[in-house]
Structure 1
Amino acid sequence: MFNFPPTNVNITANKDDKTLTLNCTSDSSNPVALLTWYKGNEDVASNNSIITSNYQPIIADAEYNGKSISQSLDINVDDVKDGEMAFCCAKHLNTDLCTSIQLAPFRESSDSSSLTAWMTLIVVAVSAVII
Protein backbone atom coordinates (compact mmCIF):
# COMPACT_ATOMS: atom_id res chain seq x y z
CA MET A 1 0.00 0.00 0.00
CA PHE A 2 1.28 3.49 -0.79
CA ASN A 3 0.78 6.91 0.82
CA PHE A 4 -1.20 9.59 -0.99
CA PRO A 5 -2.74 12.90 0.14
CA PRO A 6 -6.32 14.04 -0.36
CA THR A 7 -6.97 16.08 -3.50
CA ASN A 8 -10.18 17.79 -2.38
CA VAL A 9 -11.62 19.33 0.78
CA ASN A 10 -15.19 20.60 0.73
CA ILE A 11 -17.33 22.58 3.22
CA THR A 12 -21.11 22.53 3.14
CA ALA A 13 -23.34 24.69 5.34
CA ASN A 14 -26.78 24.38 6.85
CA LYS A 15 -28.38 27.11 8.97
CA ASP A 16 -31.04 26.26 11.54
CA ASP A 17 -32.33 29.32 13.42
CA LYS A 18 -29.20 30.67 15.16
CA THR A 19 -26.88 27.71 14.54
CA LEU A 20 -24.76 27.30 11.45
CA THR A 21 -23.63 23.72 10.99
CA LEU A 22 -20.63 23.31 8.72
CA ASN A 23 -19.54 19.93 7.42
CA CYS A 24 -16.04 19.37 6.07
CA THR A 25 -15.25 16.36 3.91
CA SER A 26 -11.90 15.26 2.53
CA ASP A 27 -11.64 12.77 -0.30
CA SER A 28 -9.55 9.62 -0.25
CA SER A 29 -6.08 9.60 1.30
CA ASN A 30 -3.72 7.08 2.84
CA PRO A 31 -3.21 7.32 5.73
CA VAL A 32 -6.45 9.15 6.49
CA ALA A 33 -6.03 12.94 6.72
CA LEU A 34 -6.62 14.84 9.97
CA LEU A 35 -9.12 17.72 9.87
CA THR A 36 -8.50 21.05 11.62
CA TRP A 37 -10.99 23.93 11.81
CA TYR A 38 -9.98 27.62 11.92
CA LYS A 39 -12.06 30.79 12.25
CA GLY A 40 -11.03 34.42 11.71
CA ASN A 41 -10.48 37.31 9.31
CA GLU A 42 -7.10 36.34 7.84
CA ASP A 43 -6.84 34.88 4.32
CA VAL A 44 -4.45 32.08 5.38
CA ALA A 45 -6.11 29.40 7.51
CA SER A 46 -3.23 28.94 9.97
CA ASN A 47 -3.16 32.69 10.72
CA ASN A 48 -6.59 32.34 12.37
CA SER A 49 -7.76 30.76 15.61
CA ILE A 50 -8.15 27.01 15.81
CA ILE A 51 -11.67 26.04 16.79
CA THR A 52 -12.74 22.64 18.05
CA SER A 53 -15.77 20.62 17.13
CA ASN A 54 -17.99 18.67 19.50
CA TYR A 55 -18.57 16.13 16.72
CA GLN A 56 -16.43 13.05 16.25
CA PRO A 57 -14.89 12.71 12.78
CA ILE A 58 -16.39 10.05 10.54
CA ILE A 59 -13.93 7.91 8.58
CA ALA A 60 -15.08 5.85 5.61
CA ASP A 61 -13.51 3.60 3.02
CA ALA A 62 -12.76 5.51 -0.17
CA GLU A 63 -11.13 5.21 -3.58
CA TYR A 64 -7.75 3.56 -4.12
CA ASN A 65 -8.01 1.68 -0.78
CA GLY A 66 -7.77 5.00 1.08
CA LYS A 67 -10.01 6.63 3.66
CA SER A 68 -12.15 9.77 3.52
CA ILE A 69 -12.93 11.82 6.60
CA SER A 70 -15.72 14.23 7.47
CA GLN A 71 -16.55 16.29 10.53
CA SER A 72 -19.22 18.81 11.44
CA LEU A 73 -18.89 22.04 13.39
CA ASP A 74 -21.59 24.24 14.97
CA ILE A 75 -21.20 28.02 15.02
CA ASN A 76 -23.60 30.43 16.72
CA VAL A 77 -24.44 32.99 14.01
CA ASP A 78 -24.69 35.75 16.65
CA ASP A 79 -20.96 35.27 17.32
CA VAL A 80 -19.95 35.83 13.68
CA LYS A 81 -18.10 39.08 12.97
CA ASP A 82 -17.90 40.97 9.67
CA GLY A 83 -15.40 39.46 7.25
CA GLU A 84 -15.01 36.30 9.31
CA MET A 85 -14.36 32.98 7.57
CA ALA A 86 -14.24 29.37 8.64
CA PHE A 87 -11.51 27.14 7.24
CA CYS A 88 -11.23 23.39 7.16
CA CYS A 89 -7.79 21.92 6.54
CA ALA A 90 -6.96 18.30 5.82
CA LYS A 91 -3.47 17.56 7.08
CA HIS A 92 -1.67 14.63 5.51
CA LEU A 93 1.94 13.98 6.49
CA ASN A 94 3.61 17.35 5.64
CA THR A 95 0.81 18.73 3.44
CA ASP A 96 -2.19 20.89 4.37
CA LEU A 97 -5.10 21.22 1.94
CA CYS A 98 -7.54 23.93 3.06
CA THR A 99 -10.83 25.43 1.95
CA SER A 100 -12.88 28.26 3.43
CA ILE A 101 -16.38 29.71 3.62
CA GLN A 102 -17.54 33.27 4.40
CA LEU A 103 -19.63 33.29 7.60
CA ALA A 104 -21.16 36.79 7.70
CA PRO A 105 -23.88 36.13 5.08
CA PHE A 106 -25.34 33.45 7.37
CA ARG A 107 -26.14 36.02 10.08
CA GLU A 108 -29.17 37.19 8.09
CA SER A 109 -32.45 35.43 8.67
CA SER A 110 -34.23 36.10 5.37
CA ASP A 111 -34.38 33.64 2.49
CA SER A 112 -32.28 35.97 0.34
CA SER A 113 -29.35 35.51 2.73
CA SER A 114 -29.38 31.80 2.02
CA LEU A 115 -28.99 32.55 -1.66
CA THR A 116 -26.18 35.01 -0.85
CA ALA A 117 -24.49 32.43 1.37
CA TRP A 118 -24.65 29.77 -1.33
CA MET A 119 -23.30 32.20 -3.94
CA THR A 120 -20.44 33.03 -1.57
CA LEU A 121 -19.76 29.31 -1.13
CA ILE A 122 -19.66 28.84 -4.91
CA VAL A 123 -17.28 31.80 -5.34
CA VAL A 124 -14.98 30.47 -2.61
CA ALA A 125 -15.00 26.99 -4.15
CA VAL A 126 -14.18 28.35 -7.60
CA SER A 127 -11.42 30.52 -6.13
CA ALA A 128 -9.92 27.51 -4.37
CA VAL A 129 -9.86 25.56 -7.64
CA ILE A 130 -8.20 28.45 -9.49
CA ILE A 131 -5.57 28.92 -6.80
Structure 2
Amino acid sequence: MADRGAHRNEYGDLLLGVETQADARLIGLVRLRQAEPELGIAELDIYLGEKDSWGRGHATDAVRTVCRYGFDQMRLHKIILTVVTENEPAVRAYRKVGFVQEGRLREVFRRDGRWYDEYTMGLLARELI
Protein backbone atom coordinates (compact mmCIF):
# COMPACT_ATOMS: atom_id res chain seq x y z
CA MET A 1 0.00 0.00 0.00
CA ALA A 2 1.41 3.39 -1.00
CA ASP A 3 1.94 6.10 1.60
CA ARG A 4 -0.54 8.84 0.69
CA GLY A 5 1.55 11.48 2.49
CA ALA A 6 4.72 10.72 0.53
CA HIS A 7 5.60 12.91 -2.42
CA ARG A 8 6.85 11.09 -5.48
CA ASN A 9 8.73 13.06 -8.07
CA GLU A 10 7.58 12.46 -11.61
CA TYR A 11 7.81 14.38 -14.86
CA GLY A 12 4.81 16.59 -14.15
CA ASP A 13 5.75 17.43 -10.57
CA LEU A 14 9.32 17.73 -9.30
CA LEU A 15 9.85 18.77 -5.66
CA LEU A 16 13.34 19.33 -4.23
CA GLY A 17 14.70 20.50 -0.90
CA VAL A 18 16.83 23.63 -0.64
CA GLU A 19 19.81 23.20 1.67
CA THR A 20 22.56 25.50 2.85
CA GLN A 21 25.92 24.65 1.34
CA ALA A 22 27.83 25.08 4.60
CA ASP A 23 25.92 22.67 6.84
CA ALA A 24 23.34 20.99 4.54
CA ARG A 25 20.49 22.43 6.65
CA LEU A 26 17.07 22.22 4.97
CA ILE A 27 15.81 25.80 4.54
CA GLY A 28 13.08 25.44 1.95
CA LEU A 29 11.56 23.78 -1.09
CA VAL A 30 11.62 24.42 -4.83
CA ARG A 31 9.17 22.86 -7.24
CA LEU A 32 8.49 22.52 -10.94
CA ARG A 33 4.84 21.60 -11.31
CA GLN A 34 2.29 20.97 -14.01
CA ALA A 35 5.06 20.21 -16.50
CA GLU A 36 3.61 19.17 -19.81
CA PRO A 37 5.95 17.37 -22.22
CA GLU A 38 3.74 18.27 -25.19
CA LEU A 39 4.09 21.99 -24.49
CA GLY A 40 7.47 22.03 -22.75
CA ILE A 41 6.20 24.38 -20.03
CA ALA A 42 6.25 24.08 -16.23
CA GLU A 43 5.41 26.37 -13.30
CA LEU A 44 7.98 27.21 -10.63
CA ASP A 45 7.33 27.62 -6.90
CA ILE A 46 9.90 28.30 -4.20
CA TYR A 47 9.55 28.61 -0.45
CA LEU A 48 12.37 29.57 1.92
CA GLY A 49 11.04 29.30 5.44
CA GLU A 50 14.18 29.99 7.44
CA LYS A 51 14.40 33.79 7.70
CA ASP A 52 18.06 33.69 8.72
CA SER A 53 18.79 32.31 5.23
CA TRP A 54 17.07 35.16 3.37
CA GLY A 55 19.23 37.60 1.43
CA ARG A 56 22.16 35.18 1.08
CA GLY A 57 21.62 34.05 -2.51
CA HIS A 58 20.03 30.70 -1.65
CA ALA A 59 16.81 31.45 -3.56
CA THR A 60 18.68 32.64 -6.65
CA ASP A 61 20.89 29.55 -6.60
CA ALA A 62 17.94 27.18 -6.09
CA VAL A 63 15.91 28.81 -8.87
CA ARG A 64 18.85 28.74 -11.29
CA THR A 65 19.60 25.09 -10.44
CA VAL A 66 16.03 23.83 -10.84
CA CYS A 67 15.59 25.82 -14.06
CA ARG A 68 18.79 24.34 -15.48
CA TYR A 69 17.51 20.88 -14.55
CA GLY A 70 14.15 21.64 -16.14
CA PHE A 71 15.72 22.79 -19.39
CA ASP A 72 18.52 20.21 -19.61
CA GLN A 73 16.93 17.07 -18.17
CA MET A 74 13.20 17.61 -18.64
CA ARG A 75 13.68 19.33 -22.01
CA LEU A 76 11.39 22.19 -21.07
CA HIS A 77 11.12 25.19 -23.35
CA LYS A 78 9.69 27.65 -20.81
CA ILE A 79 9.27 28.03 -17.05
CA ILE A 80 6.65 30.40 -15.66
CA LEU A 81 5.76 31.79 -12.23
CA THR A 82 3.70 34.38 -10.42
CA VAL A 83 5.01 36.62 -7.65
CA VAL A 84 3.42 39.34 -5.53
CA THR A 85 4.60 42.69 -6.91
CA GLU A 86 5.61 43.93 -3.44
CA ASN A 87 7.98 40.98 -2.95
CA GLU A 88 10.94 42.88 -4.37
CA PRO A 89 13.65 40.46 -3.13
CA ALA A 90 11.95 37.58 -4.96
CA VAL A 91 11.47 39.64 -8.13
CA ARG A 92 15.19 40.57 -8.04
CA ALA A 93 16.19 36.91 -7.59
CA TYR A 94 14.04 35.83 -10.54
CA ARG A 95 15.47 38.60 -12.75
CA LYS A 96 19.04 37.56 -11.83
CA VAL A 97 18.28 34.14 -13.31
CA GLY A 98 16.79 35.67 -16.48
CA PHE A 99 13.04 35.77 -15.84
CA VAL A 100 11.19 38.64 -17.47
CA GLN A 101 7.88 40.21 -16.52
CA GLU A 102 5.21 39.15 -18.99
CA GLY A 103 2.15 40.61 -17.33
CA ARG A 104 0.47 41.86 -14.21
CA LEU A 105 -2.56 40.32 -12.54
CA ARG A 106 -4.44 42.96 -10.58
CA GLU A 107 -5.63 42.28 -7.01
CA VAL A 108 -5.41 38.49 -7.12
CA PHE A 109 -3.69 37.83 -3.78
CA ARG A 110 -5.15 38.78 -0.41
CA ARG A 111 -3.30 38.97 2.89
CA ASP A 112 -4.29 40.69 6.13
CA GLY A 113 -7.36 42.21 4.52
CA ARG A 114 -5.43 43.84 1.67
CA TRP A 115 -5.39 42.94 -2.02
CA TYR A 116 -2.10 42.70 -3.92
CA ASP A 117 -1.14 42.47 -7.58
CA GLU A 118 1.05 39.70 -8.97
CA TYR A 119 3.52 39.69 -11.82
CA THR A 120 3.53 36.82 -14.25
CA MET A 121 7.11 36.07 -15.24
CA GLY A 122 8.61 33.70 -17.77
CA LEU A 123 11.99 32.26 -18.67
CA LEU A 124 12.83 30.61 -21.99
CA ALA A 125 15.57 28.00 -22.10
CA ARG A 126 17.88 30.29 -24.10
CA GLU A 127 17.47 33.11 -21.53
CA LEU A 128 18.80 31.28 -18.45
CA ILE A 129 21.66 33.25 -16.92
Q: Same fold per TM (> 0.5)?
A: no
Scaled by the length of structure 1, the TM-score of the pair is 0.31
Scaled by the length of structure 2, the TM-score of the pair is 0.31
